[in-house]
Structure 1
């Protein structure tokens, strides 16, 4: 396999180092590999593309040449052969004394892997639930620390940060909270599928964090009502320069953006909204539709 750098992004051949179960539907997978010495990121909501093998494969199947035409080459591989591609956010990275990245963490939300699940597990959930040391993956990630796949960018002078994330965006929201300067006011709503998925998050910001637990936990249950009602019912502190970051299921994100702009009067340019997934569509279907 020939790996070509695509500035500011490139491919990284990685392997699993260890896994950590964070809750009933959350698992953290730690990756390493020699390629990571060229991995640089300022963190926050850094987006990544992860390529996973199908069951029975010892490595993800990708085109031999991973240059500018990798997407078309990947699409031309047979459906049951080509690597499963999924978008994730960087949860954390660790570096050596010279600043070279040695490990990265990615948190996976597991759907359908529990006994008696109403909806079968998707390929990424299935892979993450079974991941073990040495398992090989491919990652398309940043070679430049400040890159366009980081969306959280509060303007200079921001005096209030508003965050909402469903469980797919909680890893990004968690990393964002860690990055906020000490004392900055933040009002945060995070969604969880189970009470056991609630995490203690580190931040030096003046952050008020509210967890919203869906009941019953199901990937088909709309997050929109609980999310919208919780934010609408909240009394936000007065602020001259508020900034909002909302991410998760597309319809919930759009509804919350409308609320923040129309009802709360936040400048639409100060609202970053990211649809991480769309109900009823797999990521492959979504990518093809948006291509």
Structure 2
């Protein structure tokens, strides 16, 4: 099994370059910034911490000293002053000019990040805690070299990472993917060289629950199957139990992360963890 390399991260000052609506529930925000030339990542599910301003603030408020003690100093700022922090995945990184894309799921009811993304305009300012080394511990998709089947599941919060993974896989890679979105208008055209079968589950159209859809497929999971699961934590846990308990996939070959939990804010989830 491969292991992640612990790597340092730093803060990058960003500004919105443009936005593009991808569907009723998804919007892509493209960010630029002079110091993005130091941003490094080779992970298709690269995790980032994004800091956003409250309404009426021109930029996110963070401690003046963003050294090792930044977390505690940020926590000590008043709730209605300190920058809103949310976890996102990198959709893409480009050079000349240096830009990154982050796709936002527009939840209902909307949280602070969804509201910010829905009204973001060119020039709006943000801050991201991101990697300065391409291989870092915030990358979870790491299939072993002997993998003969890649299985992916993600809801709308994980679609950016899942589609980036699909686009990066080489020709001949066998992939079975389930991507869950609220609305049929959120379905995306995914271009991949992999031998991929992608099923879109549309909740508003009465799609089956994730575990039911995956179980019905009767996947031929074997010793060399690799599974990646991301999205709502309850669904992720149920799917992990299915693959490990029912399909017999080695738990070390199942990468899983709960991006959010039904009925809880990110602050509540972080406190619970």
TM class by shorter chain equals over 0.9
- Correspondence 1:138-153 to 2 at 5 A: 138-153=127-142
Q: What is aligned with 2:225?
A: 242
Which of 100, 103, 121 in structure 2 is aligned with 1:107? 103
2:159 maps to which residue? 170
In structure 2, distance between residues paired with 1:246 and 1:211:
15
Secondary structure in 1 aligned to 2:196? Answer: strand
Q: Supply the distance in 2 between the matched residues of 1:289 and 1:186 (Cα, whole angstroms).
A: 34
2:171 to 179, 182, 191: 182
Q: 1:12 aligned to 2:23?
A: no
Q: Which runs of 5+ in 2 are unaligned?
A: 1-5
The partner residue of 1:270 within 253, 256, 269 is 253
| 3-state SS in 1 of match to 2:75 | helix
Is 1:90 aligned to residue 79 of structure 2?
no
**Matched residues, number:** 268
Question: Which position in structure 1 is the counterpart of 2:67?
Answer: 67
Residue 119 of structure 2 is matched in structure 1 by 130
Q: How does 1:190-201 map to 2 (within 5 A)?
A: 190-201=179-190
Q: Distance in 1 between matches of 2:33 and 2:123?
A: 10
Give a deviation string over 1:125-165, Cα, whole Å, max 9, x none.
Answer: 10000000000000000100000000000011101000000
Partner Cα distance (1:287, 1:62) in 2: 19
Q: Contact 2:221–2:248 (CA<8 Å) still a contact in 1?
A: no
Q: Aligned with 1:178: secondary structure?
A: helix
TM-score (norm. length: structure 2): 0.95
1:31-71 deviation per Cα after TM superposition (whole angstroms, max 9, x unaligned): 00011011000031000000000000000000000011111
Other structure's SS at 1:133 match: coil
Instruction: Quote the Cα distance in structure 1 between the aligned partners of 2:260 and 2:90.
Output: 17
- Alpha-carbon distance between aligned partners in 2 of 1:86 and 1:11, rounded to the nearest angstrom: 14
Aligned-partner Cα distance in 2 for 1:287–1:192: 24
Question: Which of residues 109, 121, 143 is equivalent to 1:154?
Answer: 143
**Alignment root-mean-square deviation, CA:** 1.6
Aligned equivalent of 2:46: 46
Q: Measure, in 2, the Cα distance between the counterparts of 1:27 and 1:191.
A: 16
Judge conservation of contact 1:43–1:175 (CA < 8 Å) in 2.
no
